Structures are given as C-alpha cells and as structure tokens.
Chain A
Amino acid sequence: MKKIVIHPITRIEGHLKVEAIVDNGQVKDANISGTMFRGIEIMLKGRDPRDSVMITQRICGVCPEPHAIASVSAVDDYAGLTDKIPKNGILMRNLILGTRSIADHILHFYILSGLDYIDPVKVLEYEGGNRNLNALKYFLQQGYSRPFLPRDDIDYKFDAKTTNTIVGHYIKALDIYRKSQQAATIFGGKWPHDAAIVAGGVTEKLTADKITEFIWRLEEILDFVKNCYLPDAIAVAKTYSEYLEIGRGCGNLLAYDSYRIKSNGNYNDTLLKGGLVDNIDKYSEIDINKITEDVTHSWYEDSEPLHPGSGETEPAPEKEAGYSWIKSPRYNGKVYETGPVADVLSTYFGKQDPYIINAVNSALSEIGTDISGMYSVAGRHLGRALSTEIMADQLLKWARELKAGEATAVEYIPPSEGKGIGLCSAPRGALGHWLNVKDGRIYNYQVITPTAWNASPKDKDGQPGPYEQALIGLEIKESSRPIEILRVIRSFDPCTACAVHMVTPKRDTIARYKIV
C-alpha cells in the first residue's frame, strides 16, 4: 500500500488536492480535497436582491456568466418576471452564456488539459511556415522552456505531424479564447463578470451594427470549433483509446434545463433538456426537491443531510472526519455526475432531438465506440466538444433572431417578499441558485455548483463522490508520476472556487419552494 498525494493540481481553477491509496499499481481508495474556503453567500444576507447577480459572479472568474444567469433567473422568478423578459433579453442572455461557454471549453481542452496529451517540445523539429509554431520553436531553441518544463516524462502518443497540428491549435486557442470573450462582451459589457445582465433582461441596447459585429466575430470562432476543436477531441479519443475505458465514474448523470428557446410562440422550452440518466441510458425527469447536501467528511459542523439552505453549517477546519471544504450534494441519496456529458446525454435521451442524436452518434461511430464510451476520460473531453459544436450552431441562429431597436429589458418594481430558483447549465454542469427575500432584502441565498457534485467527498453512507469513483480501480504505471490520476481529474474540468463558496447561517428551508 502506498499513498500518493498530489497538491497542487495545476491547470485547473482553484486549489485542489488528491490523495490516493495505491496497492499493486491500482488505486484502492481516493480522497478529493478542496483546500480553499471563502464564504460568499453570507455576504449576500441583507443586500438588495438585484446585487446577487453581480456578487455571485465573483464566486468564479472562469465561469461567472452561468452564475449571472442562474442568479438573474432566481431574481426574475421571485419578482414574477420570467414570462415578461423581452425576446431580445432572452436571446442576449443565451448568446452571452453560450459564447462564454464555448470559450471556457476551448480553454479547458487546450490550455488546461492539452499538455496531458501533447508534447510542445516536439515542435523543435518543426519545419514549416506557421508563425505560432516557429515562435515556439525559436523560444525552445533559445533555451527557454517555462511554463512547459520541467515536467514528468509521460506517454505522449501523437506523432510529430499531429503534435504540430494540435500544438498550433493550442497557441491559436489563446487567440480564439480572447476573441470569444470579446464577442460576448458586445452584449455583456465586460469579461469576466458581465455587467449587462440584470433582473428583467439585459441593459445593452441593440443596434444593427452590434448584431452584425457579433455574427462576424462568431464566424471565426465557429470555424475553430468545427475544424480544430472537435477533430482534436476525436483524435485524443482515438489515439488514447484506453481512456475510453478509464475514469468511468459513477455512471449516473444529472442536468438542468438550460437556454430558453421558442416553442409554440413563447419561450417555455429549453435547448438543453435537464433530467437524470441512470446506468448509462435510463432517462427520467428530475425533482430538485430530492437534492440534499451531506457534510460527513466536509470541514463543517456535523448535521444530517439537508436540503440546501436548511440548517446550520459552520466551518470546522479541525474536524477529524473532514478532508475537504466541498460538501456532498446527493440526489435521492445517490451520487450523480454533472457536466457537458450530462447535458448532451440528458437532451439525447430526454428530448430525442434528431440534430443532437446525429451529432453524438456520428462522433461516436467515428471513434468506434458507443454511448458507454461517453462515461470516461476521453468521453468527457468529447462531450465537452460536442456540446460546444451544438452551441455554436445555435448561437448564429439566435443572433439572427435579435431585433435592433426593440426592448431588451422590462421595467418592474421589486416585491418586498418572495422566493426564486434559477437553474442553468454551466460549462461544468448543473448550477442552481436559491433566493429568499424578506422586507426587500436577501434573507437567504444558496448555490449548488457542478463541481460540488463532481468533486464531493464521501457521504454518510461512505459513497465516494464522482471524482473519487472515477479514480478507484485506476491503474497507475509509476507512482512517482501518476499522470493517469491527473488525466482523470482534469477530464472533469474542476472549478474549486465554485465548489467551495459558502457559509450557511441558520435560515429557512428551501424545501418549500415551488418549482416552476
């Protein structure tokens, strides 16, 4: 038996540690630990409900806009505005969230995960005219190597030609990331932490030139998604095909409805259909009242598993059974994974959308696997690329539906009391915000993030969280350089600032919220 500790896990958002017990080259047990704690929700208490849209974005600077969308949806819900948001407001929110999600996925695949699969040092042998590759080659020839080296030598499998192609895309991805954020800023005001998203709609006024500028900026991004990102994600799945089996995880997925779209004249349908997918392909509807949070192994004072928001949670950094600042969300007591694979497959099975079914099936058949291959390290990268491709096509459609000169927001008077729920698909999966207002001020605010689901520690029944389950059984070639662990963890795209953000003082329960 040997204990492997990896801390810090780099190329992720935030502070994360892995401890794995390895016996005979196989992981027997794993503990995932979020090692940073702030306390955002308590700050919201007593504030103007409208401020939550700005404050909760600051939970995470990698994915602030899903927090803005979830939060503004909760405020709209409490203020009775959900059905009154002008069409332009709905569409601009979709465009901001969708474009920034594309940027986030590209950042994750290339900049955060890429160096687990491609070897930029091979570019030393590059002979060709690509300006970026020659810049890297010259950089390496001069003897520079940070931040690429030092590193542990691992099994880089791509040949020189493919390596050069993907490394070229790695550098190009930095440019595309910047351009995607610029495009979304036309509507959002700035990146990160959008200013334009407010209860009632979006503040940005629409003119024809802004819409046109957005569309043409988007074109270049879509080209990269279709001709670089998706093919590269497929190439990783084919070249590292053992990773279609590795890191399977709990095999259950959870997703929320996201991206409002028009159906029968109103915007009551969503592009991504939420739900549960159990045991690979059994779809069912979700009832969010069945969500609880367990703190058995979290650094908080013990309590029974509770609906988010009920009861008292005080930090207890010295708690003996604790090993993480992340709590353990469970659905009906069971462990669920969330993320782009959950979004794609929940929509695939729950909505039977032919476009999505075709996109998924054709990628899987090109790789030579089936749906079960999605539950793996390579499957998560593929799911992320597929959700990006699906989004990319939608964005152009939505942008063309915008109407210059028409209203983007609705005027309203905030009620003094009320409750609201906002759910959406963040780049890392299902994100929920719960708002309770009394006397015109925030009385209680709760957030359950995707990474809390995925990176959760064990619960009172001893069930490991999805990261932990994906690690248990993993074979490690060399315990001194456990790249397999890092590949599994990064495939989930950890966001620990999101996962750990709360102090929950004693408040009302959310179990009484009406789900609409």
Chain B
Amino acid sequence: MDIKKSAPISVISIQGQNCTGCVTSTLCSEYPSIENLLLRDIIPGHKLEFAFHPNIMTASGKLAMEILENAAKKKGYVLIIDGAIPTASNGVYCITGEKDGRKYTILEETLKLSLDAMIVIALGTCASFGGIAAGNPNPTGAQSVGDVFSTNDIKTPLINIPGCPPHPDWLFGTIEEILTGGLENVQLDDFKRPKTYFGKLIHENCPNRAYFDEGKFAKKLGDEGCLYELGCKGPITYADCPKRLWNGRTNWVIGCGAPCNSCTSPEYPDFLGDFYERIIDLEVPANKRKAKIQENKFLGR
C-alpha cells in the first residue's frame, strides 16, 4: 500500500475534575486499537503524537511540566480536556502540577493551552456540560470547557464529545473526520456535538422501539418490553449507542436490560428525574434546552 504521509498531529491531553473514565473508555478503542494509535497511525498516513498524556507518559513532576510547556510551543495541536473545570476560589479545587514552587490549576492550563490549539475537544460529559462534577449544589463552581470559553472570550474551535463515558469511536472517529475532511466540514449540533454520533435519538434506533409503538412496556426490570416506564431516557437522548454498541459490540445499556440514563445530555445527571422512574416534565435551567425537550413529541404522552 502506497500511503502519502502527513506530518504527525500533536495531541495534548489535560485533566480537570475527572474520574479517568473517559481515558479508560477510550483506551478500549478497538479500530483503531490503542496499540496502533500509539505506535503506528490513527488511519494509515495520519499519525497522532501523544505529546503529553498524564496516564501514559514516562515522566513525572518538573520534567512533565517542561514537556507540557514544550509541547505547547508547537502551535496547531489537538487539545483534549476531560473532567470539568472548577472556577470557584481561582480554580484551587484542581491543581494539576507545580514548577519552581508555582502551582498550576486546570483553569489556567485550559485558558493558556486553548489559545494555540487547532481544535479543543471537551471529552466526556463533565468537560462538555459540567456533568457529575458540576452536580447540584456544585460547591467548586465546576464548569464545562464551553462555559470557560464564553466567560473568557476564547474563540478556538470547540467540539464536545459527551458521554459518561464517551464511546472511543466518538473521539477517534471525530479526529479521523477532522484529519481527512477538514475541521470546517465536521457537522455539529446546537451543543457542539458531532452529528455523526449524536444526530439521532437513542429512541429512533432502539431495538425496543416496536414495543414502545405497540404500547408493550416492561413493568419490572427483566420483563419483555420497552423500558420507558422503568425510567429509560432513550426518548430524549442523542447518541448512536443502539447501532454502535459498546466494548467490541458485546453489549450496551438497553441491551443488558437497563434503562438509558441519558449520560450524553447537558442535563445529566441533575435535571433528568430519577434514573428508574418514567421521565417527568423536566425543570431544566433556561440556558439548557428546556424548549427542545418540551417540544419532544414523546413527552406529551
């Protein structure tokens, strides 16, 4: 195979208030495998260079901080942020490193590193929308990367890849789209989510959809039928889980008989009602997508 090689794209990964689940999820990427991503290419001819990644790099401490500084000098990198950004008390709730006695917060790093990035990817629901870390009453002032961008007037292109966790294909597929088709051609929805993966409701592709349409609802977990009455949030959740499946296509949430929690939604986890109760009329903050949810025809039942 004759492949024209492009210059490697540098990837810098930094972590805020995270649980590392976004990393352990994407570490399970199958095609491309993480082995191929690290040692070979993301797609033949396109290489990613993992210039800074706290979970896999050899160096620690001062040397790690220097590596981060040097990586940022080469403009045009992909900046991946997982975890939310705490903004209360000048960001003291997440200190990521220290050099020559000076402490660095994830807030500072986000502001600084975003400026020279080609694209910033907010990976996971915490980075995309605040998620678990910003859960009510949000004592640390945790914000999404997008909120930090608006507050600080940062114009670097931003893509949100939510999910608790995000599917590895959602991340690497998006990067593949950027590398092969150009950033300007990646179609995003109102929440800056790539339409390729977040363009349709779970409900639209759900194998239990026929049960829903004929009104056959499971009354308890384990019953045959649609899980709507048991709290499934598939009717309001945008993601391609029913078609893509998880972990080497072995299973997925509704496939294992459990209701969808709507983990890719901006409202997750506070504004969706109980996980195991039927969706109720939602009280969603005005800046979220209340109007859209109310318009949703499935909620009028």
Contacts and interface: CB of A to CB of B under 8 A. Distances in A.
A443 interface: no
B25 to A, nearest CB: 6
A6 B64 CA distance: 10
A146 B51 contact: yes
A50 B276 contact: yes
B57 A146 contact: yes
B15 interface: yes
A182 interface: yes
B274 A150 contact: no
Interface residues of A, number: 83
B110 interface: no
Interface string B19-41: 11111110111100111101110
A151 B97 CA distance: 17
B247 A147 contact: no
B258 A51 contact: no
Contacts of A452: none
Interface residues of B, number: 87
Interface string A172-189: 001101110111011111
Counting chain A CB atoms within 10 Å of each CB, the highest count among B51, B65, B258 belongs to: B258
A187 B60 CA distance: 37
A326 B274 CA distance: 30
Contact of B55 (A11, A48, A188): A11
B140 interface: yes
B41 to A, nearest CB: 10
Nearest to A135: B39
A195 B97 contact: no
Contacts of A193: 21, 164-165, 263
Given A61-B23, A190-B247, A15 B95 contact: yes
Counting chain A CB atoms within 10 Å of each CB, the highest count among B39, B138, B252, B263 belongs to: B39
A144 B221 contact: no
Contacts of B39: 132, 135-136, 139, 171
Contacts of B142: 38
B98 to A, nearest CB: 4
Nearest to B132: A58
Interface in B246-262: 246-248, 250-253, 255-258, 261
Nearest to B142: A38
B252 A55 contact: no
B243 to A, nearest CB: 14
B257 to A, nearest CB: 4
Interface of A: 5-15, 17, 35-40, 42-43, 47-48, 50-51, 54-55, 58-62, 64, 107, 111-112, 115, 132, 135-136, 139, 144, 146-152, 171, 174-175, 177-179, 181-183, 185-193, 195-196, 198, 200, 203-205, 213, 315, 317, 407-409, 411, 486, 497, 503
15 contacts: A5-B98, A9-B60, A36-B17, A36-B93, A37-B94, A39-B135, A62-B20, A62-B21, A139-B39, A181-B28, A181-B247, A185-B247, A193-B263, A198-B276, A204-B257
Interface of B: 8, 15-25, 27-30, 33-36, 38-40, 47, 49-67, 86, 89, 92-98, 101, 103, 132-133, 135-140, 142, 164-165, 220-222, 246-248, 250-253, 255-258, 261, 263, 269-270, 274-277
Shortest 3 CB-CB distances between A and B: which pairs? Answer: A61-B21, A189-B256, A203-B257
